[in-house]
Amino acid sequence: MIELKDKAAIVTGGARGIGKATLMKLGSLGAKLVVADMNEETTNATVAELKKLGYPAIPFLGNVSLEEDAVKLVEACQNEYGSVDILVNNAGITKDTLLMRMKKEQWDAVIAVNLTGTYLCTQAAIKYMMKQKSGSVINLSSIAGENGNIGQTNYSASKAGVIGFTKACALELASRNIRVNAIAPGFIATEMTDAIPEKIKLGIQNSIPLKRAGQPEDIANAVAFLASDASSFITGHILSVNGGGFLPGAG
Ligand code: NAD
Q: Closest by alpha carbon to 34, among 54, 15, 53?
A: 15
**Rounded distance between C-alpha atoms, residue 226 and residue 121, angstroms:** 18
Give nearest CA residue, ligand 1 atom 38.
188
Ligand 1 pocket, mutate which of 94, 190, 193, 215 (most atoms under 8 A from CB): 190
The whole-number average pLDDT for the span 130-149 is 98
Pocket lining: 7 vs ligand 1, CB cutoff 6 Å: no
**Rounded distance between C-alpha atoms, residue 170 and residue 181, angstroms:** 7
**Rounded distance between C-alpha atoms, residue 231 and residue 2, angstroms:** 9
Rounded to the nearest whole angstrom, what is the distance from the C-alpha of residue 240 to the centroid of ligand 1? 17
Residue 239 C-alpha from the chain's centroid: 12
Pocket lining: 12 vs ligand 1, CB cutoff 6 Å: yes
The answer as to whether 125 is a domain residue is yes
Overall number of domains in the chain: 1
The answer as to whether 204 is a domain residue is no
Positions marked active-site? 155
> Phi and psi dihedrals of 176, rounded to 5?
-100, 10
Q: What does the pLDDT read at residue 247?
A: 77
C-beta of residue 109 within 8 angstroms of C-beta of residue 157: no
The answer as to whether 34 is a domain residue is yes
Give nearest CA residue, ligand 1 atom 18.
63
The answer as to whether 99 is a domain residue is yes
The answer as to whether 196 is a domain residue is no
**Rounded distance between C-alpha atoms, residue 248 and residue 46, angstroms:** 38
* Residues of the domain holding 45: 8-189+215-241
The whole-number average pLDDT for the span 127-150 is 98
Mean residue pLDDT of the chain comes to 97
Q: How many CA atoms lie within 13 A of 5 on its CB side?
A: 2
Pocket lining: 64 vs ligand 1, CB cutoff 6 Å: yes
Amino acid at 241: V
Rounded to the nearest whole angstrom, what is the distance from the C-alpha of residue 209 to the centroid of ligand 1? 24
The whole-number average pLDDT for the span 37-59 is 98
Residue 136 has pLDDT above 80, yes or no: yes
The answer as to whether 210 is a domain residue is no
Convert the pLDDT of each residue in 170-214 to its tens digit: 999 999 999 999 999 999 999 999 988 999 999 999 999 999 999
- The CATH number linked to 164 is 3.40.50.720
The answer as to whether 49 is a domain residue is yes
The confidence band for 100, taking pLDDT boundaries of 50, 70 and 90, is very high
- For residue 8, CA distances in Å to 34, 66, 163, 227, 228 come to 8, 22, 24, 11, 12
Residue 251 has pLDDT above 70, yes or no: no
The mean-pLDDT minimum among 35-39, 86-90, 205-209 falls in 205-209
Q: What is the pTM of this model?
A: 0.98
The answer as to whether 29 is a domain residue is yes
Q: What does the pLDDT read at residue 195?
A: 86
Pocket lining: 158 vs ligand 1, CB cutoff 6 Å: no
Q: What does the pLDDT read at residue 246?
A: 78
Pocket lining: 59 vs ligand 1, CB cutoff 6 Å: no
Burial of residue 52 (number of CB atoms within 10 Å: 0-12, 13-18, 19+): exposed
**Rounded distance between C-alpha atoms, residue 59 and residue 33, angstroms:** 9
Rounded to the nearest whole angstrom, what is the distance from the C-alpha of residue 175 to the centroid of ligand 1? 31
